[in-house]
Structure 1
Amino acid sequence: MNSQFTIIAATNFSETSVNAVNYAAGLAKASGAQLLIFHSFSLPLHSANSHITADGLQLQLNKVNTRLALLAAELTQFYAITITYNCSYSFLEDYLPTLITDTNTQLVVMGMAERSFEQELMGNATTFAIKSLNLPVLAVPLHARLHKAKKVLFAFDAKKKIAAGKLLWLGVALKHIKAEIELFSVDETLKTLKEENPGVLVKNIIDEEFQEIKYVYKSVRSNTVIAEIEKEINLYNADILVMMPQRYGFWDSIVHRSKTRIMASGLNIPLLSLPNY
């Protein structure tokens, strides 16, 4: 594993985001990665309106950096891994892509919001990351714990190729925690595709890096994709859901809401969103 491989865990110091940072620390240890804890700093509204001085801004930044340092020190001691932190006075959407490029990051971990109509309609920082970043994003709900993650449900479109070889860190982590994968597809035409060329669809996902991981294959024929995935989460007793959002053009995006983004609010298990390479 490349010693420069990094996982970024974004936090706003809420209970959910701090739990996501803990989850990321466990993943970093399991995959041999470094962990970078990131906070995008913004001023409270009353401070912004009062034209805060440079000294006042620096004081606020110092307070945030102190909180990050304490969190990093606590996790470093517990997980025995390399942890750094970064605080930026900027909007997360503006600075996170730059930070990813500068640190050779291969995974971003964020907290998962509870489901609400507003979250599904407007989204949040996590759904923004899923939609905009060209790398895997892991959304972690409040009560998720990595040590309990033994079953991974990989819900995918059988007609799309997935570059599993770019996910070496995932294979290493899953082997370390002794997890297994179920490959699950909801598609009207999957039965025909599978009969014509059996095994090819599985090979597109599970390549050499995943050969030591136990997996099963299951497909259903249905038009209600989200409902079938939610049903399978319960049937399989999944601990992590993996999906790959589709990219729509401008006009398509008006009438489509990504199934992955919808699932990213309100699940009780983590959602790993893979980029559509």
Structure 2
Amino acid sequence: MSTIIAATNYTELAENAVAFAAEIARQNNYRLILLNDFSVSVHAMNARLSAERIEELIDENKLLLESKALLLADQYGIEVISKATFSFVEDAIEEVVTQYNAEMIVMGMEEKSVEQELLGNTTTSIIKKLHSPVMAVPANARFNGIKRVLFACDVLHGVSEQILARIKQMALTNNAEVEVLLINETVEELKAVGADPNALRIIDKGLDGIDYYYKNVRSDSIIDGIAREIKRMEADLLIMVPQPHGFWDSMVHRSKTRVMASGLNIPLFSIPA
């Protein structure tokens, strides 16, 4: 059975992402792993709690997570497994992804802030460092089906057949329409600047059988161009494929990925190249 992971720290933001993940699991008949990486609060550390008390807190957290998993299983009619860990959250997620060969990680996405633009957060760190698909769910996003998907595509560097197959499967499962967004360059211009002549044919072949179309957006800012298109088409999901070399590269190094993710009103699905 295919598996997805929902990471939670019990905040309202995280619990909203868990609910979103549960809806996806129900729709796709996935197994859901409910993950919490427990950490001792600063106040508890300052209080110099005994090892026995810290052990009790870990056990209490495990019981809380198990009870939440049971409630989710009953509410959504899905299989839910609780995984309580006590380590660094990135290490915990990577370990669970490997253990269950998870399809994706679903996490909450903090709202935009100056601090986040500079430093990012756990979700943007996971997107950047782990070679796993991540769905970042903002606080105000609710699952009402995924009918319109915006795929912001770096055609210059190509898109793998595996990624296209994932997008196609998502579209088929949700009966969704996909817009392939080309930033600042038309199909003809891409060919003129030396883009792989087979790249568009590969996309056409990979998405054959679903409702999709191309659109070009002119913008001095990639971020602004994508944001405007999200509003125009009333997209339910944005898909991005960060590339180590390409226009997504500047987004990572200049913290623009964080700006993009934290400024959304819809989930961002990041698929590693």
Fold shared by both chains (TM-score > 0.5): yes
Aligned to 1:88: 85
Question: 1:108-147 counterparts in 2 under 5 A?
Answer: 108-147=105-144
**2:7 alignment partner, one of 4, 7, 10:** 10
8 A contact 1:194–1:201 mirrored in 2: no
Confirm whether residue 220 of structure 1 aligns to residue 217 of structure 2. yes
Change in Cα spacing, 1:156 to 1:260, as seen in structure 2 (3 Å) is farther
Deviation at 1:202, TM superposition (A): 4.1
For the residue of structure 2 that corresponds to 1:247, the secondary structure is: coil
Deviations 1:211-240 (A, max 9, x none): 442111111344321111111111111111
Counterpart for residue 66 of structure 1 = 63
Give the secondary structure class of the aligned counterpart of 2:96.
Answer: helix
Give the % identical residues: 40
Cα distance change of structure 1 residues 188 and 270 upon mapping to structure 2, 3 Å threshold = same
* Match runs of 1:147-158 below 5 Å: 147-158=144-155
Distance in 1 between the 2:87 and 2:25 partners?
A: 26
From 4, 13, 16, give the equivalent of 1:19.
16
Counterpart residue number, 1:78? 75
Residue 174 of structure 2 is aligned to residue 177 of structure 1: yes
- TM-score norm. by structure 2 comes to 0.88
Task: Give the counterpart letter for 1:204 in structure 2.
Answer: I
Question: 1: CA distance between counterparts of 2:252 and 2:203?
Answer: 29
- CA separation in 2, counterparts of 1:199 and 1:24? 38
Partner of 2:157, secondary structure, is: coil
TM-score by structure 1 length?
Answer: 0.87
Does the C-alpha gap of structure 1 residues 202 and 261 become closer, same or farther in structure 2, counting only changes over 3 Å? Answer: farther
Give the superposition deviation at 1:45: 0.9
What pairs up with 1:210-249 in 2 under 5 angstroms? 210-247=207-244
**Alpha carbons of structure 1 residues 51 and 253: separation in structure 2 relative to 1, 3 Å:** farther
The Cα offsets for residues 49-73 of structure 1, whole Å up to 9 and x where unpaired, read as: 3332232122211222222122211
Aligned residues: 270
Question: Counterpart of 2:108 in structure 1: which amino acid?
Answer: G
- What runs of 5+ residues in structure 2 fail to find an aligned partner? none
Rounded Cα–Cα distance in structure 2 between residues aligned with 1:146 and 1:169: 19
Alignment of 1:155-174 (within 5 A): 155-166=152-163, 170-174=167-171
Say what the alpha-carbon RMSD is for the aligned residues: 2.7
Contact 1:11 1:38 in 2 (8 A): yes
Change beyond 3 A, Cα 1:74–1:194: farther
The 2-side partners of 1:169 and 1:74 are apart by: 30
5+ residue gaps in structure 1? Answer: none
Shift of 1:172: 3.6
Aligned with residue 204 of structure 1, among 184, 189, 202? 202
SS of match in other structure, 1:159: helix
Secondary structure of 2:156's aligned partner? coil
In the alignment, the residues of structure 1 paired with residue 257 and residue 139 of structure 2 have an alpha-carbon distance, to the nearest angstrom, of 18
